[in-house]
Structure 1
Amino acid sequence: MTQLTHPAQTLLEHLDGFSVQIDAARERADIVLHRPPYNIISMAQRDQLRLVFESLDENPAVRVIVLRAQGEHFSSGGDIKGFLEASPEHVSKLAWNIAAPARCSKPVIAANRGYCFGVGFEISLACDFRLVTETTRYALPEQKLGQIPGSGGSARLQKMVGITRTKDIVMRSRRISGLQAHEWGVATECVPDAELEAATDRLVDELRAFSPIAQRTAKKLLNDTEDATLTVAIELEGHCYSRLRSSDDFREGVEAFHGKRNPNFIGS
């Protein structure tokens, strides 16, 4: 019998610059960047982060994923020297790896404080929710290196804030504060720095209270229809709604509503 092997078997043996913590009781997984002081993200780390998101997506004990960092800065960006050493084939996978939070079917929260530059900003943009503080600084500084964002940053940002603001950020390598990011619709919530962890906990618990199957459906629908026409988006929304009508969770939600009690969703 042929013995099958895969690079992922060894890639996840020693995580590079981050750790994974799973709290089964709270149905929560934390991906924690910890390469002090600036949590620079290496080329190998990008591959590992993708695989970790894919693994957590398949883990039934996890309902919500949090991407956060140790220290005062989320991440100052990628390993600059690593770009010159990487092969063209590897570099071509940058955007695919960093898009892993968006492809993940479960809600993903980015908790951003301090510097959130380059790939740190790009992977946060690929998450569903971004919590920031008054210390947060977002930036895509690649123009200073004679480059452009290469992991989806300018494309995702333009969808959120439009071409004028995106050119201002990308072409001038301009930093924006957490408060400005919230005002522009880039960040979900802006809280005092000391309250970031508590705000993250609250959002995790809020998301856990909803039906897992309804949340997976909503995330995929919104992602898939971002570039669709209004007519197509409404049509797809109707199909998704119709499918959920036969779910156990929808029946439970309706019965709980009429029974004036909290629903007990099971994800089917």
Structure 2
Amino acid sequence: MFETLETEVTGRVASIKINRPKQLNALNTQVMEEVLAAASGFAASPDIGCLILKSGERAFAAGADIRELAVQDHASMRASNFFSGWDQFAALRIPKIAAVRGYALGGGCELAMMCDVILASENARFGQPELKIGCIPGIGGTQRLTRLVGRACAMDMILTGRMVGAEEALRIGLVSRVIADDQLEAVAHEVAATIAGYPGDIVQMARDCVNMAENSTLDSGIRHERQTYHALYGLPAQREGMAAFLEKRAPNFNGA
């Protein structure tokens, strides 16, 4: 079905793996369109509760495809609103996990940052080296990286173009866990299955509240969280979850 991707479904977890090994999974328009199509399909399915973006052997994605970019000019970039499909991917409300092995550079780092959780293998390398080719990040890198790691670290990475290893990425807040290379996919599936096991509507509420923190003042963010918290009372999942706690049993969210 897809020329640049491999997809798989295990239980309530779907996975997408970019498959352009000769190009180190460089992101071109076809990849963008196919990732968006696959992810949108999974997001629309009530049987899927979490999505994993998997890494190749050597790279998660080593950047945008320069061969495609080098022939563009201002008019063509503006007319096509180049990269806008990635905005649609980022906006999908399905929880997304990036399981990063090897290089996640430029657009690859930006793609990982569109996900809710970034899990890194010990050999993962992150960077925004666009200045080295006379460019700047264009898929949200200047914005998401600054929000994740702060102005000082973002300026350092973007203005020097240097790569950071997995342990430094963990220390500065770019990733949430560093995992042994041979355990990365297993842990990613375990995390995804945990998330997928919770009620989808409650997971989306939690995601929305966390994302609100990046785009609002503290007061308005807390107000949004409180309103959302009040609104979930009376939902089947809330009633089942609290009843199960009081009755000292595991909740049955599937029947809620």
Which residue is 1:59 aligned to? Answer: 45
The 3 A distance-change label for structure 1 pair 179 and 99 is farther
Q: 2:29 aligns with which of 39, 43, 59?
A: 43
Letter in 1 for 2:2: L
Letter in 1 for 2:67: K
* 1:218-245 Cα distance to aligned partner (Å, 9 max, x none): 1122223322111111111111111110
Q: Report deviation, 1:91.
A: 5.6
Q: 2:113 aligns with which of 125, 128, 136?
A: 125
* 1:105-154 Cα distance to aligned partner (Å, 9 max, x none): 12110000111111111010010000002200001111011000000012
Q: For 1:138-177, what aligned pairs fall within 5 Å after superposition? A: 138-177=126-165
Tell whether the 8 Å contact from 2:97 to 2:117 is kept in structure 1 after alignment.
yes
Q: Report deviation, 1:22.
A: 2.2
How many residue pairs get matched? Answer: 252
Does the residue aligned with 1:67 lie in a helix, a strand or coil? strand
* 1:182-209 Cα distance to aligned partner (Å, 9 max, x none): 1111101001111111211221122123
Does the residue aligned with 1:204 lie in a helix, a strand or coil? helix
Which residue is 1:7 aligned to? Answer: none
Letter in 2 for 1:31: I
CA–CA distance in 2 between the matches of 1:92 and 1:164?
Answer: 30
Q: Report deviation, 1:60.
A: 1.3
Letter in 2 for 1:71: E
Q: Report deviation, 1:20.
A: 1.9
CA–CA distance in 2 between the matches of 1:63 and 1:213?
Answer: 10
Tell whether the 8 Å contact from 1:43 to 1:78 is kept in structure 2 after alignment.
no
Tell whether the 8 Å contact from 1:182 to 1:189 is kept in structure 2 after alignment.
yes
The 3 A distance-change label for structure 1 pair 241 and 267 is farther
Q: Report deviation, 1:264.
A: 1.2
Letter in 2 for 1:233: G
Q: Report deviation, 1:93.
A: 3.6
CA–CA distance in 2 between the matches of 1:166 and 1:30?
Answer: 29
Does the residue aligned with 2:60 lie in a helix, a strand or coil? coil
CA–CA distance in 2 between the matches of 1:262 and 1:239?
Answer: 27
Q: 1:190 aligns with which of 175, 178, 182?
A: 178
> Which shows bigger deviation, 194-203 or 146-155?
194-203
Q: Report deviation, 1:267.
A: 8.7
Tell whether the 8 Å contact from 1:41 to 1:77 is kept in structure 2 after alignment.
yes
Q: 2:98 aligns with which of 105, 110, 135?
A: 110
RMSD (CA atoms)? 1.7
> Which shows bigger deviation, 69-78 or 180-189?
69-78
The 3 A distance-change label for structure 1 pair 173 and 40 is same
CA–CA distance in 1 between the matches of 2:211 and 2:86?
Answer: 15
Letter in 2 for 1:204: A
CA–CA distance in 1 between the matches of 2:88 and 2:172?
Answer: 24
Tell whether the 8 Å contact from 1:101 to 1:127 is kept in structure 2 after alignment.
no
1:202 corresponds to 2:187: no
Tell whether the 8 Å contact from 2:49 to 2:197 is kept in structure 1 after alignment.
no
- The TM-score, its normalising length taken from structure 1, stands at 0.88
Q: 1:33 aligns with which of 13, 18, 22?
A: 18
1:214 corresponds to 2:202: yes
Q: Report deviation, 1:90.
A: 6.0
Q: Report deviation, 1:101.
A: 4.5
Tell whether the 8 Å contact from 1:132 to 1:187 is kept in structure 2 after alignment.
yes
CA–CA distance in 2 between the matches of 1:101 and 1:264?
Answer: 31
* More RCO (CA 8 Å, sep 6+): 2
1:251 corresponds to 2:239: yes
Does the residue aligned with 2:104 lie in a helix, a strand or coil? strand
